[in-house]
Amino acid sequence: MHGRNFVTHSAKDWETSYTNLLGSVAINADVVEATFPADVRQNRTGDDDVPCFDFNTNICVLGENGERFLPAVTKKKLFINSMMAELIWFLCGDTDVARLKTLGSGIWNEWMRPDGSIGAGYGRMWRAFPDTRIVHESQEDEFLSRGFSVEGELSDGGIVVHRDVDQITNLIDALVNNPYSRRHVVWAFNPAYVDDTTLPPCHMGFVCQVMDIEGVKHLNMKVLMRSWDVFLGGPFNIASYGALLHLLSQLTGYKANRLSIGAVDAHLYLNHREQAKEHLFSEEREPFTPPTIEWNVEEGSGVEGWKKLVSGMEALEGKDHSDIYTVEGYQSHGPLKAPVAT
């Protein structure tokens, strides 16, 4: 199955989009009757799955009265503290697994390297995307003015220059000062570093768009997934990027509007089929109204507000994140546990 788009227009009903997406992938996995079920696929994890191509979910996160709805699933329990701990970890540019555990999440334990990190993963690329070049010595002043430093000299008159690009800070600055640009891009998948991380980024990158609606700036976000475990990873990723969209909204002063996630390879693991059936068909699992989220930043404070917030994130010493954000009104049904494919 390929080329499906699942859209909801009411933030309160956003979960319908995810449920429809999960149901469509589940059809391929024979969770429900299918006319043309896809072939089971073997993959690197050892847990067989059934794939779909080009699946997209497009949801609204803005309530009718301006509420900042967090797209957290309610038909099963989402561990919001763990999800937010990972997002904070990314935003701090961290890759140390022990630090993530301190913040209240163990979701990267299985991918920890001997040095205790995940390697050059999301945090590294979001906050310090490496940029190394060889240029002629006559260009030294130009590159120094752009934030590069000289790392070495070559015998032919060339010099090696390097900088780390803070994509998140640059994004916030650009959204504030050049809102209608079409270059609001943050990229996590660096082909040169695929072998230097235990799990190359599944959510490869995201793009933001600012558009005027009735004279008011609204902020949209598109996330590109190269690989999407729709039962376990799906709800986590949707909520995480929803929270990030609201953070950018508050820092810029624009209204968070729509979140779209596009998956090249959306798949359901065969050992998740029974849990997917429960999620989809249990009459007891009717969705609740989604919770709201508020980040502890001054509205429209831009880069300065971001720097203050990230300093607070870096100073966190435990699972209590209440100085950083507040989530209110989360009500859900019980968890649906499933094995993680590693």
Structure tokens at 299: 């509205």
Is-catalytic flag, 60? no
Q: CA 258 to CA 211: how far, in whole Å?
A: 11
CB 255 within 8 A of CB 35: no
Q: Which of 52, 60, 202, 208 is catalytic?
A: 202
Q: How far is CA 118 from CA 29, 41, 106, 313, 327, in A?
A: 31, 27, 12, 20, 28
By annotation, the residues acting in catalysis are: 202
